[in-house]
Structure 1
Amino acid sequence: MNGTPEFYVVREGDTLSEIAARHHVSLAQILEWNPQIKNKNVIHPKDRIRVVAPSAGHGGGDEPFPGKDFFRPSVSSPIIQAMGWRLIEEGCSAYPDEPDFRWNEADRQSYAKFQRKLGFSGSDADGIPGRVSWERLHVPALHMSE
């Protein structure tokens, strides 16, 4: 699979210069893509830094609904992590840290929060993505190649 993460979560001791070098981009690019950074010398653990140009990582558009069977513990995919970041952006996080590639209970709980935010209830808010809620989440397309 070819899917470069678009964001990096700052860890203790990181600097923007090191993050830029690690992702093969310039410090100027990092600053351009992250207007929230007012001082290049001040970042904090758990800050989320864009490390890929807004359109370079996925070419735009939304990830198509992969089907309900996709969302089970045996599945590991960058799509799940991208979904997790969108759930966090929507204020629907149940993640103890940051989302990863493997479908887990934190993903299900976070997605259930999103479904309730959309007004779904009962079995329609079970935390398993359905086509309607998935399309409303707008997970960025990754355009991965096998």
Structure 2
Amino acid sequence: MERTVEFYTVKRGDTLGKIAVMHRVTLDQILEWNPQITNPDIIHPGQRIRVAPEMHHGGDEPFPGADFFQSSVTSPIIEAMGFRLIEEGCSAYADGPDSQWSEADRKSYSNWQHKLGFTGRDADGTPGRKSWERLHVPAVFE
């Protein structure tokens, strides 16, 4: 089964309540799907939040290759990976993940690698095929 995730980019004047109504979900669901939001009264324009549960349709996001994970790369795959790292208790994010590869992504992924028992260069924060496949990043469609 593939899992897909739906995101919404916050616009000026949005509130989580308005976003929830717009997507026919509850505020509690929005908060459950976005553990990086610690105060529901504070969101910022440009912030991307999950607005739908993972929908299961068939496999996970395939491993994009180690060269994919560079600061010049912006992709919803990176954001979906970040949400999975949060779910696994491996977050090093100050404000939650976004779609651009960052030092917080690398640190969070290193935490995941350590959780799996990897050490040394195998836990440097750059995703490898084995650790990626065990993370089960949901397939992302924009």
TM-score interval (norm. to shorter):
0.7 to 0.9
Unpaired segments of 5 or more residues in structure 1?
37-42
Question: 1:30 deviation in Å?
Answer: 3.2
Per-residue CA shift, 1:110-136, capped at 9, x if unaligned? 000000000000000000000000000
Distance 1:52 1:115, change over 3 A: same
C-alpha RMSD of matched pairs (Å) = 3.1
| Gapped regions of structure 2 (runs ≥ 5) | 33-38, 44-48
Identity level (%) = 56
The number of residue pairs the alignment matches comes to: 124
- Whole-Å Cα distance in 2 between the matches of residues 96 and 15 of structure 1? 19
Q: CA deviation at 1:19?
A: 1.3
**In the alignment, residue 138 of structure 1 is paired with which amino acid?**
H
Match of 1:19 in 2: 19
Name the structure 2 match of 1:134.
Answer: 132
Quote the Cα distance in structure 1 between the aligned partners of 2:66 and 2:31: 37
1:1-146 superposed matches below 5 A? 4-5=6-7, 14-16=15-17, 18-21=18-21, 24-26=22-24, 29-30=25-26, 44-45=40-41, 51-55=51-55, 59-143=57-141
Q: 1:30 is matched by which residue type in structure 2? A: T
Read off the aligned partner of 2:128 and give its amino acid letter: G
Letter in 2 for 1:44: P
